[in-house]
Chain A
Amino acid sequence: MSRSAKGASRLQEALATGRRVLTCEIGTGDGADPEDLRRRARLVRDHVDAVNVPDNTAGVVHMSAVAAAAILAQEGLDPVMHVSCRDRNRLALQSDLLGAAALGVRNVLCLTGDHMIHGDHPQARPVFDLDSLQLLGLVSHMTRRGRYLSGRELKPPPDLFPGATENPFAPPYDFRPLRLAKKIEAGARFIQTQIVFNVERFAAFMARVRDLGLDRKVPILAGVVPLRSARAARYLRDHVPGVEVPEAVVLRMEQAGDQRVRREDEGIRICVEVIERIREIPGVAGLHLMPIRWEEAVAVICQRARLRPALAAPVPAAAAPIPGSHGTGRRDSQERSA
């Protein structure tokens, strides 16, 4: 790769098709061996349009998002690199954005970042030099104006596709759609939401988003998570701020018992049910799966919820994937590598 990639990223192309887009987040791992990351990527690559690479989510340290995204780009995947304002000031952010672009990363998800108080290094100094909106503005500024924040010229400028998040499940609920509008104004070109379990609240949020006409301005992908155990459900509810896990979901996971097959099956069933209900909400452009270090679940969810990447070749009705068969996955992979 002699220079940064130009033209639309695969995610951008997928969003332009108008079909439902599927993205997925994978863990970046805790070791210096890239093979672990590649293994996770192989588990999801045939099922999604783009792969999100988190940036020390919840303040817990993992491999750098820049490095992980670059490795995925080398593998031929389209990474969505998370950029959090928690750990880096505007100098570091700009140099990382530029470096990532040079390594073939196109999509960047601009986040304020979870506070480290909930992570494994609560003693660390918080940075928060910029917030997510200012970061979106910065990415747009570098891409469109071709300059650093200081005004110095970039030769050539990075061709980045900035995205943002929104959490419909945190107060003040009325303000969330307006904040989404603000993020779009700041430069967001796609949106991935926080984990949806409370579909009613999400539907109310989307109704307001449609009133504001935001769903026509940018594609909105709804975040979904397969739970692995009742313990995971309780952890998400009690220890991850901003995630709403209804009692009914926790109860169902508890009733599924401790046997691994049964609780994992129940977690996937809940996830598929949420996906089916999200599909009925107008204005949702696709889904963002967050399997939280359980990448094996992605294939199962895609099969049970009949999810396909937007850029996959259309399947004739007669040849639609039959539950239990693995034929389509293999065909997709051949197309991807071609």
Chain B
Amino acid sequence: MSQAVSGRSTALARVQAFFRRHPRIARVLDRLARPIEIAGKKPIFGCQMCGQCTLHETGLTCPMGCPKTLRNGPCGGVRMNGHCEVIPEMMCVWVKAERRSRWLPWRGAILRIQPALDWSLRGSSAWMNLLSGRVGKGAP
């Protein structure tokens, strides 16, 4: 899965190489980026700071709001009215995600298999993790 991130462009690869050489700079920027990221994504998307953002591939709906933190689609327990099996008053995150993804030009992205979460990135900046190439390690 790492090639999906690192092989996207040479520019990104160059940035990632830079941060690999200078992990201290990456750490400082990560600290700085965190509050900005929370302020931007928490009120709108209910961001949980998983550190490996997939918002653009999940219909601009944060899958971490799912009580099972499912990142690959809805579980089989979605109620007939489209609500969550665990929190009956909440609309299923994936019902929302699927509906919204239809409006996106890149709607097929929701079909991509998301790798297992890297829990060691929890709380860190997803933007910096992308730029420093920390995302996507240790997944099948």
Contacts and interface: CB of A to CB of B under 8 A. Distances in A.
Contacts of B69: 128, 131
Nearest to B96: A172
B71 A131 contact: yes
Nearest to A171: B82
Contacts of B85: 114-115, 117-118, 241-242
Interface string A158-174: 00000001110011101
Contacts of B94: 172, 175
B77 interface: yes
B48 to A, nearest CB: 13
A138 B140 CA distance: 6
A150 interface: yes
A244 B140 contact: no
B2 interface: no
A170 B78 contact: yes
A172 B95 contact: yes
Given A133-B73, A172-B99, A182-B113, A242 B78 contact: yes
B111 interface: yes
A140 B119 CA distance: 22
B116 A126 contact: no
Contacts of B76: 112, 165-167, 170, 194, 242
Interface residues of B, number: 33
A242 B77 contact: yes
A134 B80 contact: no
B138 interface: yes
B30 interface: no
B37 interface: no
Most buried by B among A90, A165, A186: A90
A61 interface: no
Nearest to B116: A134
A131 B72 contact: yes
Interface string B84-116: 011000001011001100000000000101111
B67 interface: yes
A130 interface: yes
B67 A126 contact: yes
Contacts of A216: none
A182 B73 contact: yes
A244 to B, nearest CB: 7
Contact of B140 (A115, A149, A170): A149
Contacts of B111: 178, 181-182
A332 interface: no
Most buried by B among A113, A166, A170, A185: A170
Interface string B41-85: 000000000000000000000000001111111111111111001
A165 B113 CA distance: 16
B74 A179 contact: yes
A172 B82 contact: yes
Contact of B98 (A130, A172, A244): A172
Contacts of B75: 112, 132, 170, 242
A282 B14 CA distance: 53
B67 A90 contact: no
Interface of B: 67-82, 85-86, 92, 94-95, 98-99, 111, 113-117, 119, 138-140
6 contacts: A112-B68, A112-B76, A137-B140, A171-B79, A172-B74, A172-B94
Nearest 9 Cβ contacts at the A-B interface: A167-B76, A241-B85, A241-B77, A141-B140, A133-B72, A170-B78, A137-B140, A242-B76, A242-B77
Given A114-B77, A165-B76, 10 more contacts: A90-B116, A115-B85, A126-B68, A129-B116, A131-B71, A134-B140, A149-B139, A171-B95, A182-B73, A242-B77
